[in-house]
Amino acid sequence: MLVEGRWFTGAGIPAGECERLVLAHRGDATVTRLDDPALWGGPIEDERYVLVSRSLARPNE
């Protein structure tokens, strides 16, 4: 799990680019936008998200 964003300062990584990088090495990646103002105490103008990548195989298989 990775909580990331493309912040108003210019730092960070856009969700689409992060997803592409993860999928180059893993078989699964789900991006959920974290843009609900209730999460941050008000509206936001930058991009915030969580990316979850699950292993597709069980350990020891």
Residue ranges covered by each domain of the chain: 2-52
Report pLDDT digits (tens) over 1-55: 999 999 989 999 999 999 999 999 998 999 999 999 999 999 999 999 999 998 7
pTM: 0.81
Q: Residue 17 is encoded by which pair of tokens?
A: 């680019």
- Residue 18 CB neighbour total at 10 angstroms: 19
Please list the alpha-helical segments (H only) found in the chain: 15-23, 37-40
Name which of 41, 33, 29, 26 is nearest 4 in CA terms: 33
